[in-house]
Structure 1
Amino acid sequence: MFLTITTTGTAENPATDLGFLLHKHPDRVRVENQSHGTAHVFYPEATAERCTAALLLEVDPVALVRRGQGKGRGGAPDAALAQYVNDRPYAASSLLAVALSGVFRTALKGQCVLRPELPEQARPLRIEIPVLPARGGAELVHRLFGPLGWDLVQAEAVPLDEQFPEWGDSRYVRLVLEGELRLADALRQLYVLLPVLDDSKHYWIAPDEVDKLLRAGDGWLAAHPENGLISSRYLARHKRLTQDAIERLELVRLAEADGSEVEEIDNAVDETRDTEERPVPLAVQRREAILAALRSAGAARVLDLGCGQGQLVQALFKDVSFTEIVGMDVSVRALNIAAKRLRLERMGERQSARVTLLQGSLAYTDKRLAGYDAAVLSEVIEHLDLERLPALEYAVFGSARPRTVLVTTPNVEYNVRWETLPAGHVRHGDHRFEWTREEFRAWAGQVAQRHGYGVAYVPIGDDDPEVGPPTQMAVFTQTDTTDTTDTPKEGEAA
């Protein structure tokens, strides 16, 4: 198997910066052992104007069979023979994807210790794979790589035998990608899409493959028009895991949707002249109300569920009365931004021990969330389809069961007061619903009754005598430590 990555540069920005990004020196050949063979990294050319890094993977078919855990045994004779006579040593597949993740592990993460500014820079890239299985042909290759920002996606069919053109084309293509992308993005795309195009994996699929898929697909997979097909093939068509991946990708898409509309509404000051005192933004008022409620409840260990980019986590961290703070979100990108906002990498050991950021979905129970004093769901529930609310309800109130739960959500009645919001529109394009005060209280009351909580309601923002406050908050306090709901089977969605 063979793959090359080429970039161009200038004297000021030399192409040999590729060596820093890949953590492989252009003047040396790097050899790394893999469980199924040997990977070689070398540079056929390395000048300031043009630099090419090559990954050559030598596959040991016998080692591959020995690690196959009995695949093909007990079947037809041709199945047993296929373990030794196949295209694995020559055609790019999940074997090459695994080699990419091992050999270029740091580059995939977008890290470069010596030149930390380089991974964030888009640069001209040309990637070539001479033999790539494509079950779906060139058309599928374009469907998969086309939406990802490449200027050129070329998939040239490889003939079965050049000496006998009448035999037609094989299922292999020669792939060429050209465009200006971050190297980490390009490598993560290849890591996912190589086994997808081959429609096969050389190892057993376990539940943690969903997490691998979401990590590698961060920033591009949720919005990809073929994310269902990609998930299915990457997970070897495992139905339950594929459904899990698709549901989590939908939550990622909602979490990463453009938030400009809600920020404009939350911080609207259009009616205030520059000479007048500016009002406190609603987002700030909401955080202050949440902090006050947590202090009143005596909470020290707090969960911020759907923490987004970490604004509330940061506010909690500034108050030393909160001794343990956990922020959880489905979006890896949002968590990365939260980590940068908090400057976790610069904190001392004692300080950093107070904060934990977790990737996870509120559509599923999570044992990591049990045993906390309080949980906050700030502007979260309205981003879920109504039929998904029971799953969230059980995950938080039935499984995690913190002593106090705070839930904030927009009050749709107040929308008429926003002059910038057209009539009939919700505050954010991804809001699945916005409730009246009566609707919110009906839902909260039923949740409290089902799970042994009492509930009180707190207005946030200007409490208009006609339409109420812009944000409504429910404060749930545990009154019954016995959960009366049916417990879902382990591993199933709530």
Structure 2
Amino acid sequence: MLLTLTTTHRPATDLGYLLVKNPANTQSFPLSFGKAHVFYPEATEERCTAALLLDVDPVDLVRGRGAGEPGTLAQYVNDRPYVASSFLSVAIAQVFGSALGGKCRDRPELADAPIPLSATIEALPCRGGEALLRRLFEPLGYEVAAERLPLDEAFPEWGQSAYLRVSLARTCRLRELLAHLYVLVPVLDDKKHYYVGDAEVENLLAKGKGWLSEHPEREAIALRYLKHSRPLFRAALARLVADDEASPEEAEDEKAAPEDRGEARMSLDEARREAVVAALRRAEARSVLDLGCGEGKLLKRLVDERVFERVAGADVSVRSLEIARNRLRLDDLPDKQRRRIQLFQASVTYRDARFSGYDAVTLVEVIEHVDLSRLGALTRSVFEHARPRVVLVTTPNAEYNALFEGLPRGALRHGDHRFEWTRAEFHAFCEGVAAAHGYAVEHLPIGPMDPSLGAPTQMAIFTRDGGAAGTNGAGGGEAQDGSAGGAGSALAQATEVAS
């Protein structure tokens, strides 16, 4: 079982200070399941690599523990000595404990410095395949490379194994990389070699501080990490939701680290909320309904703004509404505050009297989750029947996908998306909706702008009866960058459902 950590930070041998392991020495450490060895295959000013090699004793794993069925070889012959698993997490905590805790006695400033880092795991079981691997690490900003290993190089006809050789690269603090490996390696293996109880919930929350609560796969991570124990999973999820909002100190800490493309993508979630709230304030909306509210992140932001006197959220998922309720702490609010907020289950594609009576309706990253054939029902439900003064719609800009590392050409950003539109396609859809239902529409980009591909998120602001919602020039300029040639059958279908 082999993990290597590499940096090109100058001088690269500073890695030895961070790991508290001298690059000139080879060291061994006894563990309850074998031994761990640390050595440096390369250590120069330009590049330094530290290797953590685990020598797991399969006999020692069984001795005195009653594992498996007596008399079977399965107790002794398995993949545990060779593939990354919870054994690796234990070794990281015991051998690199100071680095995992963000401590560096001799060079304390190094522990807080983002440096270019890469980690390679020679054999990693991925129960969920490469797709799950990418869903776990790419939202954290990593460039991910994976190579499926053959069952036996001497017999290629035997085919490929279930194991991957994985490389992860990112500029970050070493403690962040180690914490991500500590949590996510056992999640990918979907096994643990030790008892999991209440203490493991605390361990997960400690190692996941600052990233797990916002991770799009947090529920899958928590469930697998806690060995599918439903009581422990529910306890962890409730804590993650309650601790979701970062403190001002944590926010400033994150700002200090340079963002790579993956981190910029992560920040889109907050950038969308800020753009939506700003547009609602400009429109002088006093009551807002968030359709497809999910777990209530935008709702929390709206409730914190006193200018919004009435806030409601609707979603088809009962579980998401439960999480939103916890995030908003509805049960703990005074009656006056509680009356400002309403949550209810509903589908945006069906006419619902509860959608009416609000100044503004928001659809934040919602339409791309709806089948194209159902978009007509959505537009009628919102623009014809609910008919608010302002409607805000955000959706991915498909052109920008070319800038996301690791996203295959033509692939969607999320497996649940039914489509993703170019700017020209989205503009055509919005113009059709506006014309059919008596609205004016403006467009604003959200996120870092690329000169030719635009911004990662596009927002449309629909207004009727002269309601001003935003500034015109920004959206008009971006519209000219959209390529009309990229609008194919999706554009034709969008234009049709708009009316």
| TM-score of the pair, normalised by structure 2 | 0.52
Q: 1:147 aligns with which of 112, 115, 139?
A: 139
Distance 1:206-1:437 versus aligned 2 partners, 3 A rule? closer
Residue 115 of structure 1, CA deviation: 1.0
How many angstroms apart in 2 are the aligned matches of 1:438 and 1:135? 47
Task: Assess if the C-alpha contact under 8 Å between 1:156 and 1:175 holds in 2.
Answer: yes
Which residue of 205, 230, 244 corresponds with 2:196?
205
Cα-to-partner distance string for 1:263-314 (whole Å, 9 max, x where unaligned):
xxxxxxxxxxxxxxxxxxxxxxxxxxxxxxxxxxxxxxxxxxxxxx7xxxxx
**Matches for 1:19-418 after TM superposition, within 5 Å:** 19-66=16-63, 69-73=65-69, 80-150=72-142, 152-253=143-244, 255-256=245-246
CA distance, structure 1, for counterparts of residue 83 and residue 333 of structure 2: 58
- Alignment-derived partner of residue 319 in structure 1: none
Query: 1:142-178 deviations in whole A, cap 9, x for unaligned?
Result: 011111111x201211122234334322110000011
Preserved contact between residue 111 and residue 119 of structure 1 (Cα < 8 Å): yes
Aligned to 2:496: none
- Aligned 8 A contact 1:97 1:191 in 2: yes
- How much does 1:252 deviate? 1.5
Q: 1:436 & 1:171 partners in 2: Cα distance? A: 50
**Alpha-carbon distance in structure 2 between the residues aligned to 1:103 and 1:109:** 12
Pair 246,435 (structure 1): closer, same or farther in 2 beyond 3 Å: closer
Give the Cα separation in 1 of the matches to 2:125 and 2:338.
Answer: 56
Q: Is the CA contact (8 Å cut-off) linking 1:149 and 1:181 kept in structure 2? A: no
Query: Deviations along 1:12-39, whole A, 9 cap, x unmatched?
Result: xx11110111011111111110001011
The SS at the match of 2:4 is: strand
Bigger share in helix: 2
Quick one: distance in 1 between partners of 2:42 and 2:69? 45
* Structure 2 counterpart of 1:42, one-letter code: F
Deviation, structure 1 residue 433: 5.3
Partner of 1:487: none
Structure 1 residue 83: deviation in Å? Answer: 1.4
Three-state SS of the structure 2 residue aligned to 1:154 is strand
Counterpart-to-counterpart distance in 1, 2:139 and 2:57: 35
Cα pair distance change 1:435/1:31, threshold 3 Å: closer
Say whether the 8 Å CA contact 2:69–2:75 is kept in structure 1.
no
Whether the 8 Å contact between 2:330 and 2:338 is mirrored in structure 1 is no
Q: Is the 8 A contact 1:232 1:238 kept in 2?
A: yes
Distance 1:73 1:23 in 2: 41
| Residue 437 of structure 1: how far off its partner (Å) | 7.2
Distance 1:22 1:424, change over 3 A: same
- Structure 2 letter corresponding to 1:8: T
Please tell me the residue identity of whatever aligns with 1:24.
K
Alignment-mate amino acid for residue 65 of structure 1: V
Q: 1:211 & 1:9 partners in 2: Cα distance?
A: 33
Output the amino acid matched with 1:91.
V
Q: For the residues of structure 2 that align with 1:37 and 1:73, how far apart are their CA atoms?
A: 22
Q: CA deviation at 1:114?
A: 1.2
Please give the alpha-carbon distance, in whole angstroms, between the structure 1 residues aligned to 2:51 and 2:73. 31
Q: Aligned with 1:146: secondary structure?
A: helix
Query: Within 2, Cα distance between the matches of 1:148 and 1:44?
Result: 28
Letter paired with 1:99: A
* Cα distance in 2 for residues equivalent to 1:34 and 1:42: 17
Question: Which amino acid is the alignment partner of residue 21 of structure 1?
Answer: L
On the 8 A contact 1:7/1:50 being kept in 2, the answer is yes
Which residue number corresponds to residue 490 of structure 2? none
Residue type of the alignment partner of 1:9:
H
Q: What's the offset of the Cα at 1:439? A: 3.8
Q: Aligned equivalents of 2:60 and 2:233: distance in 1?
A: 29
Q: Which amino acid aligns with 2:121?
A: I
Question: Cα gap change, 1:18/1:201 in structure 2, threshold over 3 Å: closer, same or farther?
Answer: same
The 1:440–1:231 alpha-carbon spacing in structure 2 relative to 1, beyond 3 Å, is: closer
Q: 1:434 to 1:238 in 2, by over 3 A?
A: closer
Query: Offset at 1:434?
Result: 11
Instruction: Give the TM-score normalised by the residue count of structure 1.
Output: 0.52
Aligned residues of 2:226 and 2:232 also touching (Cα < 8 A): yes
8 A contact 1:138–1:156 mirrored in 2? no
- The one-letter amino acid paired with 1:157 is R
1:9 matches 2:9: yes
Q: Report Cα offsets for 1:218-255 as digits up to 9, x if no partner.
A: 111111111111111111111111111111111111x3
Question: How large is the Cα RMSD of the aligned pairs?
Answer: 3.1
Deviation at 1:71, TM superposition (A): 2.2
CA contact (8 A) 1:94 1:202 kept: yes
Measure how far apart 1:9 and its partner are.
2.6
CA distance in 2, matches of 1:436, 1:204: 38
Q: Secondary structure at the match of 1:222?
A: helix
Distance 1:440 1:9, change over 3 A: closer
Percent identity, aligned pairs only, is 51
Question: Retained in 1: the 8 A contact 2:27–2:37?
Answer: yes
Aligned amino acid, residue 33 of structure 1: P
Unaligned runs of 5+ in 1: 260-308, 310-332, 338-411, 443-494
